[in-house]
Structure 1
Amino acid sequence: MKINWNYIKGFLLIGAVFFLFAFAEKRSNSRKISEVSLQFTNSENLYVTEEAVNKLLIQNHVEVATVVKDTLDLNRVESILDAHDMIEKAEVFMSVDGKMGASITQRKPIGRVLAARPYYIDRKGEKMPLSTFYSARVPVVSGIREEHLSEVFPLLDHIRNDPFMAVHVTGINRLANGMYELEVRKQDFAVHFGKIEDIERKTTNFKAFYQKAMKDKKLNAYKKVNLQFKDQVVSTKK
């Protein structure tokens, strides 16, 4: 029987390729992680720094220089980062050259609540602690308790997404009767918003009033602007 050496050589070559691949894979997985690379979405690291993230990982016994690739639990690292008060979402990944990467989206405050211990309201309507690294320029909210967060959130969210309101509204005050007033930048008149309903209509009416009064140079003539009425803005002069 004639032996076909070409087939044997082919099988040996295939076996050698698989062996080398498996060896390289094992060696790669046994390599220690050389460094961690952090990426902040929108290039913002206002409320949590790279140093703070690295310290958090060390405190949770994720020391990059001593961890082997195949022993690192990426889901656990994500959970650690997601639990940070200033992080909204973290996505952790591993590169082929032994570097751990993390894409971090920070929480974004849209209002600052005055309280015994002040705090932010974030863009999801949840309570967020103040940061030691950065102070956000957002409307100051007074007169509310934690149970009012869901009530005031739609107004804060609308202000954040409306360029005119975001520039001009500096404060929101909840009155004892459950009604709300707005404070306007560089103006001493109060804007009576009423209940947080019909937000689009009320802000449209307010913008029309403001622009007309500014054109007529009469913004300083008013002490109160009432937005509660459906088809008109009722203003009271000084």
Structure 2
Amino acid sequence: MKKILTYGKFVGLVALIVFLFAFTGNRNESRKIKEVEIEFVEEQNPYINELTVNKLLIQNQVGVTDVGKEILVLNNVEKGLDAHKMIEDSDVYLTVNGQLKARIKQRTPIARVNAVVPFYVDITGNTMPLSDNYSAHVPLVSNVSEREVSEIFPLLRKIQQDEFLKKHVVGVYRNQSGDYELALRVYAFKVIFGKVEQLDSKVKNFKAFYQKALKDQSLDKYKKVSLQFRNQVVCTIK
């Protein structure tokens, strides 16, 4: 009889634990999302703001704060955010107290193309629209169409990665022969870069020329500096 009583208590305890877990789970699932928190990861300029992200979180004209947690599909929310042309990646998740959190990584523009409808080229070589919130301080590219972005992208990426070029180059122009010219921040002479090839060699030659001319105080004497020829820097004096 004692064993039966002990067994009965054990079964009752297990049943109580199962009931409490089920009750807590159902209560948690039926809880409404009361708060949305948006976090922008990394230190980036504000090309997209919290208001825009909140609008993207709205599904079928119903705010996510009104949606029960059991019917909110987080993967779909992330897909909606990632589809925005200013967003590179997003991570959306729920906390145990019903708070929806969205971590946003924006795309990084490295050049602005001066077209009929201007656009940015981002760090991955894709195009992105201009932002209403912030204007990126990046080189201005002229006479280049969207279909030619893949051709010029290695040069733009080189400018973005190289501290010397990033400091001095403010513009890139594609001339009628298909060669690229660089405009500098301080000096008026044009840098004829040529085709997008042998990037490391051309940049190395230009740096060597620049340092020597800077030392000789002759940078203001030049009208044009060409890097088109292998292992040479050909200068035209004013």
Which TM-score bucket, shorter chain as reference? Answer: over 0.9
Three-state SS of the structure 2 residue aligned to 1:42 is: coil
Q: 1:92-133 CA deviation, whole Å, 9 max, x = no partner?
A: 111111011111111111110011111111111111110010
Unaligned runs of 5+ in 1: none
Q: Equivalences for 1:1-238 in 2 at 5 Å?
A: 3-44=3-44, 46-58=46-58, 60-238=60-238
Structure 1 consecutive aligned stretches of length 4 or more whose deviation exceeds 4 Å? none
Instruction: State the AA in 1 paired with 2:148.
Output: H
Distance 1:211 1:62, change over 3 A: farther
User: How many percent identity over aligned positions?
Assistant: 51
Q: 1:27-78 CA deviation, whole Å, 9 max, x = no partner?
A: 0110000111111111435111001111222364351221111110111111
CA distance in 2, matches of 1:2, 1:231: 98
CA distance in 2, matches of 1:2, 1:118: 85
**RMSD (Å), alpha carbons:** 1.4
What is the total number of aligned residue pairs between the two structures?
238
CA distance in 1, matches of 2:235, 2:6: 97
TM-score (norm 1): 0.95
Instruction: State the AA in 2 paired with 1:230.
Output: R
CA distance in 1, matches of 2:202, 2:8: 83
CA distance in 2, matches of 1:159, 1:123: 11
Three-state SS of the structure 1 residue aligned to 2:196 is: coil
Unaligned runs of 5+ in 2: none
Q: 1:165-185 CA deviation, whole Å, 9 max, x = no partner?
A: 111110110111111111111
TM-score (norm 2): 0.95
